[in-house]
Amino acid sequence: MSVISEILEYNQEFVKSKEYIQFFTDKYPSRHLAILSCMDARILDLLPRALGLKNGDAKLIKNAGAMVTHPWGSVMRSLLVAVFELQVNEIMVISHHDCGMRGLSAEEMLNKMRQAGISDERIETLRNAGIDLNSWLTGFERVEDSVRHSVEMIRKHPLMPDNIPVHGLVIHPTTGKLSMVVDGYQPNQKTHSKEAAQ
Ligand SMILES: [Zn+2]
């Protein structure tokens, strides 16, 4: 059976047996929290469990690497909507160890695209149109640096109010243990960073 058939079959039963009742909530997050995290499958359930979050507690935004790469992209827009429309007053950026975006190489990924049938010509056309594929497809070297960068992008965004604390954390994808990288209540202190511990 295909994945989609399995899911649709399960879903019918889920709705029929009213399993949804346990998830009742409204659109305003009861902990007034928005979290930007990674799409990694290991933290699909682990992340909310390890943080003690239940359905309705927080707005959860996910992408590859938990990265804010552009001030006017969909992540930043989602965070602003969360703050101004959905009563969020605290933000957490949570990346994780062993992330697929660490060390992601644009050249390797472009090669995989070529192997999948994307022509060199098409890639060149995009480059000639001014699309910087190399920086767009490059991940990060150190997860803590990436978290700090995303936190700064959010904190310094011209439309983000100064009174919204933005925390930066790293979660272990096996144990769920959190490490603080940026304390949003004291954003200029690097008290919890790896460098400070050394
Ligand atoms: Zn990841």
- pLDDT, residue 195, reads 47
Residue at 16 is within a domain: no
Residue at 66 is within a domain: yes
Residue at 52 is within a domain: yes
Between the CA of 16 and the centroid of ligand 1 the distance, in Å, is 35
> What angle (nearest 5°) sits at the alpha carbon of residue 55, between those of residues 54 and 61?
100
Amino acid at 14: F
Sheet of 178-182, strands arranged across:
58-63, 33-38, 90-96, 166-171, 178-182
d(CA 127, CA 130): 5
Q: What is the CATH number of the domain that holds 46?
A: 3.40.1050.10
Between the CA of 190 and the centroid of ligand 1 the distance, in Å, is 23
- pLDDT, residue 187, reads 79
- Quote the number of domains for the chain: 1
Residue-wise pLDDT tens for the chain (198 aa)? 899 999 999 999 999 999 999 999 999 999 999 999 999 999 999 999 999 999 999 999 999 999 999 999 999 999 999 999 999 999 999 999 999 999 999 999 999 999 999 999 999 999 999 999 999 999 999 999 999 999 999 999 999 999 999 999 999 999 999 999 999 998 777 555 444 443
Residue at 155 is within a domain: yes
Between the CA of 15 and the centroid of ligand 1 the distance, in Å, is 31
Residue at 121 is within a domain: no
Domain carrying residue 154: 27-104+139-197
d(CA 152, CA 107): 28
CA proximity to 61, closest of 34, 97, 91, 23: 34
Between the CA of 13 and the centroid of ligand 1 the distance, in Å, is 32
Torsion-angle region of 155 (φ positive above 0: left; ψ -120 to 50: alpha; else: beta)? alpha
Residue at 119 is within a domain: no
Q: How far is CA 111 from CA 116, 138, 168, 185, in A?
A: 9, 14, 33, 43
pTM of the model: 0.91
